[in-house]
Amino acid sequence: MTTASTLRHGFTTAEAARRLARDGPNILPSAPRAGAVALLARQMVHFFALLLWGASLLALLAGMPQLAVAIVIVVLLNGAFAFAQEYRADRAAQRLRELIPANAVVRRDGARAVIGAAELVTGDVVLLEAGDRVSADLELAEVHALGVNESMLTGESRLVRPAAGDAAYAGTFVVEGQAEAVVVATGGHTRLAGIARLTQTASRPPSPLSVQLGKVVRIVAGIALAVGAAFFGLAQLLGMGPAESFLFALGVTVALVPEGLLPTVTLSLARAAQRMAARNALVRHLEAVETLGSATFICTDKTGTLTRNEMTVADLWSPAASPADVLRSAVLSSTGRMSGGKPVGDPMEVALHVEALRLGAEADDEVTARFPFDPLRRRASVVAGGRLHLKGAPDTVLPLCREVPGVQESLARMSDRGLRVLAVARGDTAEERDLEFLGLIGLYDPPREDVAEAIWKCRIAGIKLAMVTGDHPRTARAIAAEVGLLRDDEPALRGTDLPADDARVTEAGPPVGGELVLTGADLPDDDAALGELLDRDGVVVARVTPEDKLRIARALRSRGHVVAMTGDGVNDGPALREADIGIAMGASGTDVAREAADLVLLDDHFASIVAAVELGRATHANVRRFLTYHLTDNVAELTPFAVWALSGGTIPLALTVLQVLALDIGTDLLPALALGAEPANPRTMHGPARTGDLIDRRLLVRVFGVLGPAQALAEMAAFAGVLLLGGWQPGAAPGPALLAAASGTAFAAVVLGQFANAFACRSESRWIGRMRWRSNPLLLGAIAFEAVLLLVFLGVPAVAGLLGGAFPPPAGWLLAFAAIPVMVLADAAYKARFALRGTGPRVK
């Protein structure tokens, strides 16, 4: 228990040292953190990396060291790239430490002393002044016009005026006034530490892209292993020895692993992240690019995201006095000012001062007595120029004034708009009675100019929106209505007459219809009921706590939503982690929020979220494009092995395993990356996000029923044509030179067919002739580079010999070039069929 003597003298140095040894330093506890080596190792042992490591080992066992080394290089490069992107991803709890100030002013041994904040102990007497950061959880013993900004903890933008006996929390800061307080909790026992623990324990869910890629990998791995096992059995039936059959099966398995898929995905996401950064959205986790495009529900804060974070005078009503007189008295009873172009003090009082300056209202009378705002009086007053000037909540000011007609109607009008309403009065004496009522002032934080359009785009895209804020419900509702977040075509709030100072707007429970404006206290305890209540468009939830935001994100995710959550303060960290994608403010947000987030808005604009969603959706479509491109190539790669097996070995292998690898990570890689940079279609934001499987029935039919067979047919026809023109007879063994020339022709046919396939994959509905060829210049460059690689792989004897092919004869080139029209015609026929049936995909 803190005695009066302790307040006057504080602890002795010896007692403080004893308590410090007992309780430990005033620092936030840190969770065990993985080192750089562990993080790097993690990138090398995820499922896809393990699959590639296994393929490398199989290649080595199969007597193909060149193939094994090439696959190892792919794994190492991708692991290093992912490590560099993710290294700073898990530091939110560490950043929370920086909110604890370095020093604190205490009373020790009967005198003021400056000590390190880590040396504070429970029972210490702390002296607070304007500008001080609160170093521990405190109980206020004496206050003198104290104003504390708690927005970093509560999310509420207004200034808090605590009284003696109230609490002040670590991480908040003093805006004005003075106080003496007693430390009641330090380090891990503070409220700030509780939020840090929430941030640590809120696990990041796997992104939709991770889930989809995992599914792709499992499918590919299963197919590769099954085909490898089948070919082992076939080789045995064809008379190969067990060892030879095993090595052959290993080669087939390696050939089916899409070595180029992982770098294509990683580098495509990186390019999309660069494009987002150019539009003021900085990606901190690469997979967030695609996840944001899959978003079905956005929970956005109000202050600074939908609004400019600037309190503004929106309305003023007076029965007789001029607006200048009303503002003059309001400013005199305030301490917040606009000084040197910068706001100092309470944002609301700064707004009053700005409006007074605009009207030329002088408020420089000498103040001889000040009675600061406190929660009990709910008003502030001063004596200046021999008169009393007073402002405060209307229900506390109006009873002190002479009766004024029309004031209640004006108060109701402002309250219905959700403005924060102040009543202003003055008197001829210092007594607060029989005052002259001057007028009402309504203030609000104006919305950003482009927010309404961005919200409209979200609705066109089928994305639900909710405002989740720590601010007053009426203020939140007013902004939501002004920017169009609330629906205009539905009934107003239900079940209450909404008095001006009512903190609760509805009771918890399923809405009957119309607008839904809630407070944190209204939210049901059951997460399932919470999800059902909030799963609608245009919800406003005010007065939320960090725990509320965490529950909201979890409840919406449990209903199948891909949730994007915005935030800027410490209080938002846990929810940012719980959401599928956390979005932090870059200009006004805290380091804690930025470190907990997947995406940082460099300009804090809600419109930047919509731009990022569009890019994310384009990325999802692009992933499908290059998956189609890769899998089509895989069909052509597998076909020579299938033909060899089905023919009982009478038809030689058209491609070698090293040629297959050259296709995967050589000629195919750049066109696939270019497809990953395909510009967004103008209709990308029309309709709900395509959050289904990356590989669905439509894609499988296109790959394995149309494009893949067409390319395989062109490949094998070119191979067989060169053999037959060279005098080969089925069943006979062709000479080494003829087989190498035919194999080089088959390789060229696959590469040239992929030229056409790359353009075909740009759209799921338009044939090549209807596309603007120059709209993706990267693809043109990639095709040109692919042509150069083709000439290198076949024209340089050492390289061609290593891969197992040779430069095709003139007739072979003619046959290989035939793959281009074959692919174009097959693609056009497929798309024409769907166009006639009217079942083409929405996003083209």
Full DSSP string of 10-41: -B-HHHHHHHHHHH--S---------HHHHHH
Structure-token pair, residue 751: 């590469």
- CB 566, CB 609: distance < 8 Å: yes
Residue 240 CA from chain centroid, whole number? 55
Single-letter code of the amino acid located at 109: D
Structure-token pair, residue 630: 């890769």
How many other C-beta atoms are found inside a 10 Å radius of the C-beta of residue 127? 18
How many other C-beta atoms are found inside a 10 Å radius of the C-beta of residue 233? 12
Q: What is the DSSP letter of 538?
A: T
- CB 575, CB 199: distance < 8 Å: no
Residue with token string 């079942």:
839
Instruction: Say which residues have a Cβ less than 8 Å from residue 803's Cβ, sequence separation at least 6.
Output: 656, 658, 659, 662, 747, 793
- CB 744, CB 752: distance < 8 Å: no
SS3 650: coil
195-227 in b/e burial notation, b at 16+ Cβ within 10 A? Answer: bbbbbbebebbebbbeebbeebbeebbeebeeb
Q: How far is 11 from 14, CA to CA, in rounded Å?
A: 8
Active site residue 301: yes
Residue 349 CA from chain centroid, whole number? 35
Q: What is the dihedral of CA 471, 477, 479, 482, to 10 degrees?
A: 180
CA end-to-end distance (rounded Å), the chain: 72
Structure-token pair, residue 430: 């210092």
Instruction: List the beta bridge partners of residue 565.
Output: 299, 582
What's the chain's Rg over C-alpha atoms? 35
Q: What is the DSSP letter of 674?
A: H
Single-letter code of the amino acid located at 727: G
Q: How far is 532 from 435, CA to CA, in rounded Å?
A: 51
Q: How far is 600 from 590, CA to CA, in rounded Å?
A: 11
Instruction: List the beta bridge partners of residue 137.
Output: 185
How many other C-beta atoms are found inside a 10 Å radius of the C-beta of residue 29? 14
Full DSSP string of 418-437: T-EEEEEEEESSSSSSSBEE
How many other C-beta atoms are found inside a 10 Å radius of the C-beta of residue 65? 11
Q: How far is 747 from 751, CA to CA, in rounded Å?
A: 6
Among 623, 616, 578, which residue's Cα sits nearest to residue 596?
578
Among 617, 615, 570, which residue's Cα sits nearest to residue 597?
570
Point out the catalytic residue in the list 90, 137, 301, 580: 301
Q: What is the DSSP letter of 48?
A: H
SS3 534: helix
Which bin fits 693, alpha (ψ -120 to 50), beta or left (φ > 0)? beta
Q: How far is 41 from 2, CA to CA, in rounded Å?
A: 53
How many other C-beta atoms are found inside a 10 Å radius of the C-beta of residue 813? 19
Q: Please list the alpha-helical segments (H only) found in 503-605.
A: 527-534, 546-558, 573-578, 591-596
Q: How far is 683 from 766, CA to CA, in rounded Å?
A: 14
Structure-token pair, residue 712: 């395989």
H or E element in which residue 582 lies = strand 581-585
Active site residues: 301
